[in-house]
C-alpha cells in the first residue's frame, strides 16, 4: 500500500538506555538513532496483553517467545486490508503481525532481528556458507544452498534463514515443504523478503527508564501545549471552557494539559449508550481523582431509533457520530451557554482527516462549539509516556488490546478488534448481534449480512465528521 505520512517519523532509540526516544537526543546525553518504521508512525507501547498475544503467535510459528521479560516493545499500526502492526525492539522492526479476515487468523511476518531475541525452535532453514552473501543481498535460498530445514516446515510457511552458526540472515516464505525440499537438487526453497532494515541492539529496560529518557522532550511538548491552551483561552475570555472527555487516552492527556494551563474546567461527556464498562469506570476515576465537575449529555435511545430506520452505522454512513455525539453536545451548549470553548484530544497522526484539520476549528454541525486541540502534534507514544509520567488513571481497555476507545461496535474498527471484543465481551457482542439479526429479518437481508461484518460496509455516505 502507498506510504501515508501524517507527520514526521519521530521514533528514535537510545542504545545507551535501551529506550524509545521521541527525538534526536536522550536525557542521558547520547545521540539517538532513528527507527525505520512504516508511516504514519503513530507508535504506542506494547502492554502486557499485547506482549502475550504476540508471544502466543510467535510461538506457534517458531516455538519460542519473541519478547523477553524486561524488554520494551513498541507497536506501529500500518495500513493494510484489516490490521497490521510492526513490533519494534532494540531500535528496529523485529517482526510484523497481520490479521487475515478471510482466514480469521493472524499471520506472523518475522524480520531477521527477531532471532537476536530468541533462536527459533522451528520454522527455520539453515543455509550453506556459500549462500550467505547472496541471501543477505536479498536473493532467494535455492536448493543447493540448503543445509537443513526443520521437518515441520510446510509450503507457504514464514521461515527464518539461519547460518550454520545460528546467525539469522534472511526471512521469507517457504516455496516448498520440508519433505520436498530435502529431495530437491535445484529450485527455490525460500523466497526472501526485504526483512532486515536498520540496526537492532537488544537490551533490558523499563518504562520508567523510557519516561526518564524522554523527560525533556515531554516537558517541551507539554509547555507548548500549555501555552497553546492559554493563548486560546485569552483570545476567547468570555467563552465557557470545557474539556470533551471520551474516556480515551487523548482526552485524558488533554485534560492534564488544560488543568496545568488554566486550572480546573468541567468535563463534557456525551454518552452514546454504546460504551464499554471500562469507559464508565474511567470517567468515575478521573472525576473523583481530579475532583472535577462533569456535565453529561447523551442521545438516550436515539441510536436504536435511528438504526430501526436507517440500519446500523457503516464505514461510509456513520450517522452515529451526529446522532450520538454531535447533536446532544450542540443542544447542551445551546441550552446552557449559547456558545463554548472545548478542548478536544484530536491528533494528526490518527488519520488523514485529522492531519488536515486545523488545530482550532468549528465542526460545521456544531457551530456553537469552538474546538481546540492542544495535543494535535503528539503521537500515541507521547500521550502514553505523558500519562505514565503523570501517573494518570488511563482506561483499562488499553491493557486489553483495545487501542481505540469509543463505541464497542464502531463500524470503523477493524475485524481483528471485533474478534477480540467478541471473546472478551461475549454478552455485549451477543446483544449487538441480536439487534443485527432483528434488523436483517425485518428488512429481508441475506443471512451473511449480520454474520460476516457485511453490515459495516453498506454504501451510502453521510457523516464522516472528525469529532472525538
Ligand atoms: Zn539514553
Say how many Å lie between the CA of residue 211 and the centre of ligand 1: 11
**Dihedral of the alpha carbons of 394, 231, 376, 37, in degrees to the nearest 10:** -100
Say how many Å lie between the CA of residue 190 and the centre of ligand 1: 39
Say how many Å lie between the CA of residue 15 and the centre of ligand 1: 7
Joined together, the cell numbers standing for residue 429 give 457482542
Per-residue pLDDT at 156 exceeds 50: yes
- Alpha-carbon gap, residue 171 to 113, rounded angstroms: 10
How far lies 415's CA from each of 39, 108, 254, 346, in Å? 21, 17, 29, 24
pLDDT of residue 463: 40
Q: What is the mean pLDDT of residues 411-428?
A: 93
pLDDT of residue 462: 38
pLDDT of residue 315: 86
Say how many Å lie between the CA of residue 19 and the centre of ligand 1: 7
Q: Model confidence over 201-236: pLDDT tens digits?
A: 999 999 999 999 999 999 999 999 999 999 999 999
Say how many Å lie between the CA of residue 324 and the centre of ligand 1: 46
How far lies 186's CA from each of 127, 177, 414, in Å? 14, 14, 42
Joined together, the cell numbers standing for residue 146 give 540448503
At 283 the three-state DSSP class reads helix
Residue whose cell numbers read 441475506: 446
Domain parsing of the chain, residue ranges: 42-192, 214-415
Say how many Å lie between the CA of residue 418 and the centre of ligand 1: 38
Per-residue pLDDT at 460 exceeds 60: no
Percent above pLDDT 90 for the chain:
85
382 contacts 282 by C-beta, under 8 angstroms: no
- Alpha-carbon gap, residue 93 to 84, rounded angstroms: 13
pLDDT of residue 452: 79
Say how many Å lie between the CA of residue 44 and the centre of ligand 1: 19
Per-residue pLDDT at 1 exceeds 80: no
- The second-level CATH assignment, the architecture, of 214-415 is 3-Layer(aba) Sandwich (3.40)
Report the candidate in 160, 171, 213, 176 with the shortest Cα–Cα distance to residue 196. 171
Residue 19 burial by Cβ neighbours in a 10 Å radius (0-12, 13-18, 19+)? buried
Q: Model confidence over 336-352: pLDDT tens digits?
A: 999 999 999 999 999 88
Say how many Å lie between the CA of residue 20 and the centre of ligand 1: 9
Say how many Å lie between the CA of residue 222 and the centre of ligand 1: 20
**Weakest-pLDDT range from 430-434, 435-439, 447-451:** 447-451
Joined together, the cell numbers standing for residue 384 give 502514553
Say how many Å lie between the CA of residue 25 and the centre of ligand 1: 8
Say how many Å lie between the CA of residue 30 and the centre of ligand 1: 5
CATH number of 42-192: 2.30.130.10
Q: What are phi and psi of 58, to 5 degrees?
A: -65, -35
Average model confidence (pLDDT) for the chain? 94
- Alpha-carbon gap, residue 52 to 47, rounded angstroms: 9
Say how many Å lie between the CA of residue 210 and the centre of ligand 1: 9
Say how many Å lie between the CA of residue 13 and the centre of ligand 1: 8
pLDDT of residue 2: 60
Strand-pair category, 74-78 with 33-34 = unpaired
Does 2 or 111 have the greater pLDDT score? Answer: 111
Say how many Å lie between the CA of residue 112 and the centre of ligand 1: 25
Q: What is the mean pLDDT of residues 119-145?
A: 96
Say how many Å lie between the CA of residue 96 and the centre of ligand 1: 26
Per-residue pLDDT at 457 exceeds 90: no
Neighbours of ion ligand 1 (CB under 5 A): 14, 16-17, 26, 28, 30, 213
Q: How confident is the model at residue 458 (pLDDT cuts 50, 70, 90)?
A: low
pLDDT of residue 159: 97
Residue 279 burial by Cβ neighbours in a 10 Å radius (0-12, 13-18, 19+)? buried
Amino acid at each position: 500500500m502507498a506510504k501515508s505520512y501524517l507527520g514526521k517519523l519521530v521514533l528514535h532509540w537510545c542504545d545507551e538506555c535501551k529506550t524509545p526516544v521521541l527525538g534526536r537526543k536522550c536525557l542521558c546525553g547520547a545521540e539517538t538513532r532513528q527507527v525505520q518504521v512504516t508511516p504514519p508512525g503513530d507508535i504506542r507501547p506494547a502492554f502486557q496483553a499485547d506482549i502475550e498475544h504476540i508471544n502466543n503467535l510467535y510461538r506457534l510459528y517458531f516455538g519460542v517467545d519473541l519478547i523477553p521479560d524486561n524488554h520494551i516493545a513498541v507497536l506501529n499500526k500500518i495500513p493494510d486490508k484489516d490490521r497490521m502492526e510492526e513490533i519494534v525492539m532494540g531500535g528496529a522492526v523485529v517482526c510484523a503481525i497481520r490479521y487475515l479476515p478471510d482466514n480469521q487468523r493472524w499471520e506472523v511476518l518475522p524480520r531477521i532481528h527477531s532471532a537476536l531475541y530468541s533462536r527459533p525452535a522451528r520454522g527455520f532453514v539453515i543455509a550453506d556458507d556459500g549462500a550467505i552473501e547472496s541471501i543477505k543481498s536479498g536473493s532467494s535460498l535455492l536448493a543447493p544452498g540448503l543445509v537443513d530445514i526443520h521437518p515441520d516446515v510446510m509450503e507457504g510457511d514464514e521461515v527464518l534463514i539461519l547460518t550454520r552458526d545460528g546467525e539469522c540472515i534472511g526471512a521469507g516464505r517457504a516455496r516448498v515443504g520440508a519433505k520436498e525440499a530435502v529431495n530437491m537438487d535445484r529450485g527455490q526453497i525460500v523466497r526472501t523478503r526485504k526483512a532486515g532494515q536498520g540496526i537492532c541492539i537488544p537490551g533490558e529496560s523499563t518504562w520508567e527508564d523510557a519516561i526518564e529518557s524522554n523527560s525533556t522532550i515531554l516537558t517541551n511538548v507539554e509547555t507548548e501545549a500549555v501555552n497553546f491552551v492559554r493563548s486560546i483561552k485569552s483570545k476567547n475570555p468570555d467563552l465557557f471552557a470545557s474539556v470533551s472527555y471520551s474516556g480515551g487516552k487523548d482526552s485524558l492527556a488533554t485534560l492534564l494539559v488544560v488543568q496545568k494551563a488554566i486550572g480546573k474546567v468541567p468535563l463534557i461527556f456525551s454518552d452514546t449508550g454504546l460504551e464499554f464498562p471500562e469507559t464508565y469506570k474511567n470517567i468515575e476515576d478521573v472525576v473523583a481523582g481530579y475532583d472535577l465537575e462533569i456535565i453529561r449529555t447523551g442521545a438516550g435511545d436515539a441510536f436504536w431509533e435511528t438504526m430501526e430506520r436507517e440500519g446500523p452505522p457503516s464505514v461510509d454512513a456513520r450517522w452515529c457520530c451526529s446522532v450520538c455525539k454531535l447533536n446532544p453536545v450542540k443542544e447542551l451548549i445551546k441550552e446552557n451557554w449559547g456558545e463554548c470553548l472545548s478542548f478536544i484530544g484530536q491528533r494528526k497522526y490518527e488519520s488523514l482527516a485529522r492531519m488536515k484539520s486545523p488545530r482550532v476549528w468549528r465542526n460545521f454541525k456544531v457551530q456553537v462549539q469552538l474546538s481546540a486541540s492542544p495535543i494535535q502534534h503528539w503521537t500515541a507514544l507521547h500521550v502514553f509516556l505523558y500519562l505514565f509520567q503523570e501517573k494518570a488513571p488511563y482506561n483499562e481497555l488499553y491493557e486489553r488490546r483495545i487501542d481505540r476507545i469509543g463505541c464497542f461496535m464502531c463500524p470503523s474498527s477493524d475485524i481483528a478488534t471485533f474478534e477480540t471484543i467478541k471473546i472478551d465481551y461475549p454478552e455485549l457482542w451477543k446483544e449487538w448481534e441480536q439487534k443485527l439479526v432483528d434488523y436483517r429479518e425485518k428488512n429481508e437481508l441475506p443471512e451473511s449480512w449480520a454474520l460476516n461484518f457485511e453490515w459495516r460496509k453498506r454504501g451510502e455516505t453521510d457523516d464522516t465528521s472528525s469529532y472525538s
